[in-house]
Structure 1
Amino acid sequence: MGAVVLVTGASSGIGAALCQRLLQEDAAVRLCLACRSMQKAAATKALLLAAHPAAHVSLVRLDVSSLESVLQAAGEVQRRFQRLDYLFLNAGIMPNTRVNFKALVSGLFSGKAIHMLSTAEGLITQEDSVTADGLQEVFETNLFGHFILGLYSSVVCPGLVMTNLTYGILPYFFWKLLMPIMWLIRFFTKTYTLMPYNGAEAQVWLFRQKPESLDALMKYHSCTSPWWGNYVEARKMDVDEEAAEIFYQKLLELEKQVLARMNVPLNTQK
């Protein structure tokens, strides 16, 4: 039996591109698309099967902003496959995202223009909300919902990719106007991957690696050369290990609290 691979947020963007690339890497993989919208997931599954008719692709409903949904999906996957070989924690949100135009204008005429445009540091603002679990939506969706699964993972960065999340920041026509500038910037920075296929490079690279060869303090970046050559660059994370340990312990305590509130035994989730 082929490797069992689960991808969260697999219905579009980098998640869908990753599924496509994994089937190109190994047609025998058993893909499970874990998505909030079953309608979108089914459409993605149909596209994957159209390109790979013999592929084994299944769906499971997973909304990482809901702890109940996370636990139900984990139980369903366990019953269905009995094991997971690869788990890609791809799901994430950027709600009510806006560009700080004042920071954009001032940054363009500073010595940090390339850095600003490469990382969007200081440019993006967003409004958050509280979920039914009493947690901040971005925190629960992008981090804690995955943490509840009880797993460690390598960290990747897809670069700047044009997806539904990106198009939600500015109107579509505005991105079209910016595209020539973005193409020009690509000659000065390797982080403008732009296409979901390119943004999935680091995840596909990890799929090929042995876990014991990976460094937990490295972040693996998807990069694209000016001539569309995709490659992965490993960069040491600027991590205060003492602060990271404190944060990790707080996550464990929060996990204990929310599972107790839901009457879920903690040890059954590990």
Structure 2
Amino acid sequence: MERVVVVTGANSGIGLALCERLLTDDSQLRLCLACRNMQRAEAARSALLASHADARVDLLHLDVGSVQSVLAAAQEVKARYSRVDFLYLNAGIMPNPQVNVKAFFKGLFSRNVINMFATAEGLLTQQDGLNSDGLQEVFATNLFGHFLLIRELEPLLCQAGHVSRVVWTSSSNARRSAFSIEDVQHRNGTEPYSSSKYAADMLSLALNRHKNSQGLFSSVTCPGLVMTNLTYGILPSCFWTLIMPIMWLIRIFTNTFTLTPHNGAESLHWLFLQKPESLDPRAKYHSLVSGLGTSYTQARQMDADEGMSQAVYSELLELEKVVRRKLAVKNAEKEAHGQYLSEIE
């Protein structure tokens, strides 16, 4: 029986590299590219079919930053497939990243240079804002939209006698110090990306606690330092031209500089080949690369907190109720308005 794999953020970078690797490993799988930009999704599909002519590659319009889009996409998935074997939660944003240039150059010529590039700790902030649902944009895209997608797809993910997998693309930038359970959406901070990724790590723990008995297993990956559209947006292109030779040199001495999307997708692809019972729910699976360019996966313990994990899960469940109520009221008002217009015509 063919396996169904859904990948969010699949039209470029790590997501597209993962799709290429999955089709190389199993040309019989049913692959669904869930993307916000359908023009780029079509281009990605064409690129995949160019090297895998017989592959079954579907497209799905999905903006994980929009509640309405998530609900509509989930309905489409349920109409197309009888189950989902793998759900790769790869889409993410880091809007308007700001770099402390002084700290950057100070760190560039210090012993801390590798850690600075690997985690961006003390170096990178972002400017967040509200989306059309009244949620913080980074929180909605990187965390809540994916949580809502899982909730909607539970009938396909949690089936008797069937094992399904959820795989999160996290980050080495996921830090407990950037997260507060009192401010889950990170309205009052300057590191929403770090906050959202740490919350995703905690959510994965909670999903395993609550859903393993129903056949759903969740894993967390870290792609390492990868050069993608998101990464290139952090600094002006002239800076990357200056420092890329330095980064390739540094890679000889560290295994976290994966640099290419193919290498960054290593742990995501590795998990595709593993049996869930052999995995550690408290581990983050890191994509790493040797100085000679050989990519491999290594499990490293997360900064895990069971109490925090449950608190994040509970907060998201409560927020889901609020969001669904608001959406129901909005739809009812829209329907009433439409009925009123039809009556006066």
Q: Determine the structure 2 residue equivalent to 1:103.
A: 103
Q: Determine the structure 2 residue equivalent to 1:159.
A: 224
Distance 1:64 1:157 in 2: 20
Q: Which secondary structure state, in structure 1, belongs to the residue aligned with residue 90 of structure 2?
A: coil
Offset at residue 110 of structure 1 (A): 4.4
Q: Determine the structure 2 residue equivalent to 1:231.
A: 296
Q: Judge conservation of contact 1:118–1:189 (CA < 8 Å) in 2.
A: no
Q: Determine the structure 2 residue equivalent to 1:244.
A: 309
User: What whole-Å deviation, never above 9, does each CA across 1:159-178 have from its counterpart, x for those lacking one?
Assistant: 11111111111122321221
1:94 aligned onto 2:91: no
Superposed CA RMSD in Å reads 1.4
Q: Determine the structure 1 residue equivalent to 2:200.
A: none
Q: Determine the structure 2 residue equivalent to 1:9.
A: 9
1:194 aligned onto 2:267: no
Q: Judge conservation of contact 2:223–2:264 (CA < 8 Å) in 1.
A: yes
1:60-209 → structure 2 map (5 Å cutoff): 60-149=60-149, 150=151, 152=207, 153-209=218-274
Q: Determine the structure 1 residue equivalent to 2:155.
A: none
The amino acid of 1:7's aligned partner reads V
Distance 1:127 1:102 in 2: 19
User: What whole-Å deviation, never above 9, does each CA across 1:125-177 have from its counterpart, x for those lacking one?
Assistant: 11011001111000000000000122743110001111111111112232122
The amino acid of 1:192's aligned partner reads F
Q: Determine the structure 1 residue equivalent to 2:157.
A: none
Please, which runs of 5 or more residues in structure 2 have no aligned partner?
152-165, 167-206, 208-217, 330-345
Q: Judge conservation of contact 1:6–1:86 (CA < 8 Å) in 2.
A: yes
Provide the TM-score with structure 2 as the length reference.
0.74
User: What whole-Å deviation, never above 9, does each CA across 1:28-73 have from its counterpart, x for those lacking one?
Assistant: 0110000001100000000100100000001010000001100110
Q: Which secondary structure state, in structure 2, belongs to the residue aligned with residue 121 of structure 1?
A: coil
Q: Determine the structure 1 residue equivalent to 2:47.
A: 47
The amino acid of 1:232's aligned partner reads T
Offset at residue 98 of structure 1 (A): 2.1
Please, which runs of 5 or more residues in structure 1 have no aligned partner?
265-270
Q: Judge conservation of contact 2:224–2:286 (CA < 8 Å) in 1.
A: yes
Q: Determine the structure 2 residue equivalent to 1:220.
A: 285
Q: Determine the structure 2 residue equivalent to 1:267.
A: none
Distance 2:260 2:128 in 1: 27
Q: Which secondary structure state, in structure 1, belongs to the residue aligned with residue 107 of structure 2?
A: helix
Distance 1:64 1:84 in 2: 18
User: What whole-Å deviation, never above 9, does each CA across 1:170-224 have from its counterpart, x for those lacking one?
Assistant: 1223212211100111122111100000000000001011122222111000001
Which of the pair is proportionally richer in helix? 2
Offset at residue 115 of structure 1 (A): 1.6
Q: Determine the structure 2 residue equivalent to 1:268.
A: none
Instruction: Name which of structure 1's ranges 169-178 and 184-193 shifts more when overlaid on structure 2.
Output: 169-178
Distance 2:17 2:228 in 1: 11
Q: Which secondary structure state, in structure 2, belongs to the residue aligned with residue 181 of structure 1?
A: helix
Q: Which secondary structure state, in structure 2, belongs to the residue aligned with residue 6 of structure 1?
A: strand
Distance 2:232 2:118 in 1: 17
Distance 1:253 1:214 in 2: 29
Distance 1:15 1:117 in 2: 21
Q: Determine the structure 1 residue equivalent to 2:29.
A: 29
Q: Which secondary structure state, in structure 1, belongs to the residue aligned with residue 328 of structure 2?
A: coil
Q: Which secondary structure state, in structure 2, belongs to the residue aligned with residue 262 of structure 1?
A: helix
Distance 1:145 1:213 in 2: 28
The amino acid of 2:102's aligned partner reads K
Distance 2:260 2:143 in 1: 24
User: What whole-Å deviation, never above 9, does each CA across 1:222-255 have from its counterpart, x for those lacking one?
Assistant: 0011111010010001122212221221111111
Offset at residue 109 of structure 1 (A): 4.9
The amino acid of 1:224's aligned partner reads V
Distance 2:232 2:110 in 1: 26
Provide the TM-score with structure 1 as the length reference.
0.94
- Aligned-pair identity in percent equals 61
